Structure 1
């Protein structure tokens, strides 16, 4: 299973880039999964739902299943956040896993950057960032810069970096 990351500061376009890359890669015939890092508490559940009631009662894991999908929620309490490799090991095999966030992990990444929220480039001090996808030119950068909306070219770059054959 090959892993490639999309990183960037808050509101840089990471989620939109991942969403568009997933659609592009799936349309090309690849199987794709995603991992999304959340810096804050989050909940997929809603108060009052049976699964939420199970968790509130103290269940360490709650699995919700239907004919269309299933989800496993695991409480970690005050334990440390699970490392990315542990989470990746839980996924079914696919051609490619796109990881949103996890900017400090050592997998290869592309940085998303939008002019209106521009902050210092993470790429400047991080060799795991192999390229930048931006809505503004970044002259003098020592790695490729792609237009944030040129999804096909970004997908080609990622596939080439991971040694995956182009498909159409």
Structure 2
């Protein structure tokens, strides 16, 4: 799954840009997910499902012929969200301008804002700044109105699978953002991520759970030790799959 974070200050037009990218990617036949960072909390609608949630339900699901709307009370870190979306072709994240471990598209109203949003992971800029002199900016600037398709072409070329965001500290770069910056520069690959390259995979209710190397070793050693003690099992099995139901 490739992904991009659409970043910018409040009122810059991030949602407009993110919506355009999602629509254009869908037009090209991709399976697309979108994630919005809601800084001020989430406004629940006044329809029946929202009223049920507001009444205190821990989870509300409204089902129609082609859409499922869900509210649930939960806490989720960025890495948990990224992990759950890996079956999609592309994901568009709106916000997460400091912690997103992948490429970023800055939406800026002027050159000053654009410079504030520049990071080693900012691959392009769009927004009202495209209408003024932006010749001094170090990355491409796209006018969404006239160059929207070119912008999406560029993002498809530059975007890569985001790192887990666990910041486990086991790779030589020390954090997922630092490793993502090295990937963007062409100095590293995803194989250096000790989580993505893990030979231990954990699914809980069908959802993948990323494991840092210490936890991987615990799972691996315990499972192989238990299985190796069973009659009829070879002394050194190379692959074990275990499914447990409550």
TM-score, normalized by length of structure 1? 0.79
Distance 1:38 1:85, change over 3 A: same
For the pair shown, the structure with the greater C-alpha radius of gyration is: 2
Counterpart Cα distance in 2 of 1:25 and 1:95: 9
Cα shift at 1:71:
2.0
Structure 1's consecutive aligned runs of 4 or more residues displaced over 6 angstroms after TM superposition are none
Specify the alignment match of 2:107 in structure 1. Answer: 112
Cα shift at 1:58:
2.7
User: Residues 10-89 of structure 1: matches in 2 within 5 Å?
Assistant: 10-46=10-46, 49-76=47-74, 82-89=76-83
Counterpart Cα distance in 2 of 1:50 and 1:21: 31
* RMSD over aligned Cα atoms: 2.5
- The structure, 1 or 2, with the larger RCO (C-alpha pairs under 8 Å, 6+ apart) is 1
Structure 1 or 2: more strand by fraction: 1
Specify the alignment match of 2:121 in structure 1. Answer: 128
Cα shift at 1:118:
6.1
Specify the alignment match of 2:149 in structure 1. Answer: 152
Distance 1:63 1:104, change over 3 A: same
Unaligned runs of 5+ in 1: 164-168
Unaligned runs of 5+ in 2: 161-246
Please identify, of 87-96 and 138-147, the stretch whose mean Cα deviation from structure 2 is larger: 87-96
Structure 1 or 2: more helix by fraction: 2
Cα shift at 1:53:
4.0
